[in-house]
Amino acid sequence: MKLTKLAAIGLLSLASGLALAQTPQETAIKKAIEPRLGDGAKIDSITKTPYGGLYEVRIGSDIFYTDAKGEYLFIGRIVDTKTFTDHTKARVDDLTRIKFSDLPLESALKTVKGNGKRVIAVFEDPNCGYCKRFRQTLSEMDNLTVYTFMYNILAEDSAVKSRNIWCSADRAKAWDEWMLKGKAAEAAPANCTAPNDKILALGQKLKVTGTPTIFFVDGTRVPGAIDRAALENKLASTK
């Protein structure tokens, strides 16, 4: 299977890294599969799983599975039929977990609603329709602090819109005015500098590939816009 085929199903290499020590069989499986991926793809690790005799194949934070001989690839999720635990999702969550306290919150727009005890960080692009939908969801919630990182990846003028908003007297208000009402912020003065490049580099470092991407205080993330019920449930389960 060529890497171009893997790309079509989202199995792109996100990082190279060093593989952990492997058993002789795991090494043999890697030797069998890796050349078939093509385009210089590198497998970071192969590990035997406790379910079904399968072996986990990891490329960056992407996970798929193979048999003991490395003859077949299984692309999808492993779900426990008794508990409905999604083992693949849990594994990916661990691989993509961040340290929330390391986020440069001073470079984000801050919105506090109610007591603000529940906290999230969101990467959004000003030209992102799904972000605008999610922003509507946030406007309906209470007791929430939202740190918004303006992540300009969708259009050439995204950086301009973000700079204008950052340089506004009330940044959070200017963001909501644009995202919820389509009211653009005034042009930024020439001497105002926005952290656009810093946030772009941060998002790339954290492997943020789309907007919105939501980060929770436990370091887990949810890609894409989710509805209020799903967000409430996630916040309730986050420690």
Task: Specify the pLDDT at position 21.
Answer: 64
Contact 58, 21 (CB under 8 A): no
Question: Domains of the chain by range and CATH?
Answer: 3-96 (3.10.450.70), 100-237 (3.40.30.10)
Q: How many Cα atoms occupy the beta-carbon half-sphere of 25 within 13 Å?
A: 11
Contact 136, 180 (CB under 8 A): yes
Cβ neighbours of residue 175 under 8 Å, at least 6 residues apart? 109, 126, 148, 150, 165
Task: Specify the pLDDT at position 134.
Answer: 97
φ, ψ for residue 202 (rounded to 5)?
-65, -45
* DSSP label at residue 234: H
Kindly report, residue by residue over 24-46, the tens digit of the pLDDT.
888 899 888 888 887 778 999 99
3-class state of residue 63 by DSSP: strand
Task: Specify the pLDDT at position 4.
Answer: 38
Contact 199, 147 (CB under 8 A): no
Low-confidence residues in the chain, pLDDT < 70: 1-21
Task: Specify the pLDDT at position 120.
Answer: 98
Beta strands in the chain (DSSP E): 45-48, 55-59, 62-66, 73-74, 109-113, 118-124, 144-150, 213-216, 221-223
Kindly report, residue by residue over 187-197, the tens digit of the pLDDT.
999 999 999 99
Joined tokens for residue 38: 């093509």
H helical segments located in 61-195:
87-96, 129-139, 158-166, 171-181
